[in-house]
């Protein structure tokens, strides 16, 4: 599954919206956050954007106070991360930002001016959108540096991961899950954990009685996908937490799990859909050799072409390919091996070389042909189809472990960032003020 940067931006944009819309006067500080603030106008605009995202997903609006709480918490986490990035000296200059936005536009079949016009047609301020994208790129870079960069995966990790996979789990299986998390703090007492579990069990009863999962996720979940109705989108079984993968394998489409306990709290998942299945993984490979002749200070293009013709004629008369490659080839990677390129899958070589190679039968020698590297003479030694199922399994396991570790570490890092921050609420009503706390 390929998710464009534009779609990712569209899902997250509400978390950053509103800054450029803040009124220069008569605005109101509603949260003091370390040495920064969140303005009423930021929250108001973010709620508008969140409602639009919710509407596009076909989810009914939650109660205003519930949505306000979810959006405000997302704004706080975003502000904390951009503050941390500034402290770490991270910045995205306009040149880099323009490259990112150009790439977003290109992935959606638009030029940069067309992208800007599309943003304006949707009723958004293009300059504000630029800054939202800058924040998202900044946060992504910060996460890579402070979270992903510290993750290591060993062969023993891969072995353990594969050994603990649910029996019968199909290769290439993908699930689309919806998720609700009732979070529990790290140092929670038994009473607090019991209260959280009771809430999760009540939600399971309501879901099995027919209430809408997305609506309940939006109103109750502490997961990062709460404002998307808990939608986790399509993920391979190996990329899911093992608890989720094992549970999803036992659910039918539309089924809701019971309460699943983990370190972060209590989870509920729903199997929205599934696709894919088992199958052996193979790759076609070609074992080839070549002689490369490149123009140089002593030999121009025409002389290089003429030498390639001469060597080809000598090969046709029976001279040894390996010896001629060792003597004449300009490819430093294969020269000493007599031009041997080993077994390679399709797509490794430049197109001009790959096309000629595909036309040869084992034992045949090509006539001289040209690529950006110079003049080649190629020969196919043999072809094979190699089973890469185990190799693919291990690569997928390594990727899945990395994603899981990254998600866990990122959640822990965010929680710590939140706990260590100074957060002072300055809300509108007395009820809001009484409910707010200082961290």
Residue-wise pLDDT tens digits, 356-407: 999 999 999 999 999 999 999 999 999 999 888 888 888 888 988 998 889 8
The confidence score (pLDDT) of residue 3 equals 42
Per-chain mean pLDDT for the chain: 86
Which stretch of 48-52, 305-309, 315-319, 327-331 has the lowest confidence by average pLDDT?
48-52
Confidence of residue 23 (pLDDT cuts 50, 70, 90): very low
Q: Which domain holds residue 109?
A: 5-146
Kindly state whether residues 63 and 105 are assigned to the same domain.
yes
Most confident of 18-22, 190-194, 332-336, 415-419: 332-336
pLDDT over threshold 70, residue 9? no
210 within some domain: yes
Kindly state whether residues 275 and 360 are assigned to the same domain.
no
- Are 19 and 131 within 8 A, CB to CB? yes
Query: Rounded distance, CA 57 to CA 48, Å?
Result: 15
422 within some domain: no
Query: Rounded distance, CA 16 to CA 53, Å?
Result: 13
pLDDT over threshold 90, residue 84? yes
Domain count, the chain: 3
Kindly state whether residues 366 and 333 are assigned to the same domain.
yes
Work out the average pLDDT over 150-168.
83
3-state secondary structure of 309: helix
The confidence score (pLDDT) of residue 96 equals 92
Kindly state whether residues 170 and 134 are assigned to the same domain.
no
92 within some domain: yes
Instruction: Residue 290: name the closest of 221, 344, 241, 216 by CA.
Output: 344
DSSP 256: B
Kindly state whether residues 314 and 357 are assigned to the same domain.
yes
CATH number at residue 176: 3.10.50.40
Kindly state whether residues 242 and 317 are assigned to the same domain.
no
- pLDDT for 89-109, tens place per residue? 999 999 999 999 999 989 888
- Are 163 and 242 within 8 A, CB to CB? no
Q: Is the pTM of this model over 0.85?
A: no
pLDDT over threshold 80, residue 277? no
Query: Rounded distance, CA 403 to CA 284, Å?
Result: 29
Instruction: Residue 405: name the closest of 161, 61, 207, 148 by CA.
Output: 148
- pLDDT for 228-255, tens place per residue? 999 999 988 878 887 888 898 889 999 9
């Amino acid at each position: 599954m390929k998710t464009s940067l534009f779609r990712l931006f569209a899902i997250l944009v509400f978390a950053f919206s509103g800054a450029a819309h803040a009124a220069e006067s008569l605005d109101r500080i509603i949260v003091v956050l370390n040495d920064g603030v969140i303005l009423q106008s930021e929250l108001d605009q973010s709620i508008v954007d969140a409602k639009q995202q919710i509407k596009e997903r076909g989810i009914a609006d939650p109660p205003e106070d519930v949505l306000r709480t979810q959006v405000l918490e997302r704004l706080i986490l975003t502000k904390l991360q951009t503050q941390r990035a500034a402290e770490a000296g991270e910045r995205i200059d306009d040149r880099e930002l323009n490259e990112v936005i150009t790439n977003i536009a290109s992935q959606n079949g638009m030029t940069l001016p067309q992208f800007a016009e599309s943003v304006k047609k949707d009723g958004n301020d293009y300059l504000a959108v630029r800054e939202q994208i800058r924040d998202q790129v900044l946060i992504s870079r910060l996460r890579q540096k402070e979270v992903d960069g510290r993750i290591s995966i060993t062969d023993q990790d891969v072995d353990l991961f594969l050994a603990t996979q649910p029996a019968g789990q199909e290769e290439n299986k993908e699930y689309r899950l919806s998720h609700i998390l009732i979070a529990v703090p790290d140092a929670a007492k038994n009473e607090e954990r019991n209260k959280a579990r009771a809430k999760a069990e009540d939600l399971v009863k309501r879901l099995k009685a027919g209430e809408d999962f997305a609506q309940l996720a939006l109103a109750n979940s502490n997961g990062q996908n709460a404002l998307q109705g808990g939608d986790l989108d399509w993920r391979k079984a190996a990329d899911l937490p093992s608890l989720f993968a094992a549970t999803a394998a036992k659910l039918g489409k539309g089924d809701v799990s019971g309460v699943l306990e983990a370190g972060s709290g209590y989870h509920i998942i729903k199997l929205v859909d599934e696709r894919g299945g088992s199958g052996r993984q193979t790759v076609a490979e070609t074992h080839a050799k070549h002689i490369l002749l490149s123009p140089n200070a002593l030999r121009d293009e025409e002389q290089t072409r003429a030498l390639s013709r001469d060597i080809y004629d000598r090969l046709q008369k029976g001279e040894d390919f390996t010896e001629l490659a060792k003597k004449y080839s300009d490819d430093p990677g294969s020269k000493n091996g007599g031009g041997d390129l080993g077994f390679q899958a399709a797509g490794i070589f430049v197109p001009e070389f790959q096309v000629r190679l595909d036309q040869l039968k084992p034992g045949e020698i090509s006539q001289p042909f040209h690529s950006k590297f110079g003049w080649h003479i190629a020969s196919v030694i043999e072809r094979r189809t190699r089973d890469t199922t185990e190799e693919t399994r291990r690569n997928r396991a390594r990727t899945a472990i990395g994603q899981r570790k990254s998600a866990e570490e990122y959640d822990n890092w965010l929680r710590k960032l939140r706990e260590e921050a100074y957060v002072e609420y300055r809300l509108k009503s007395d009820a809001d003020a009484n409910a707010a706390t200082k961290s």
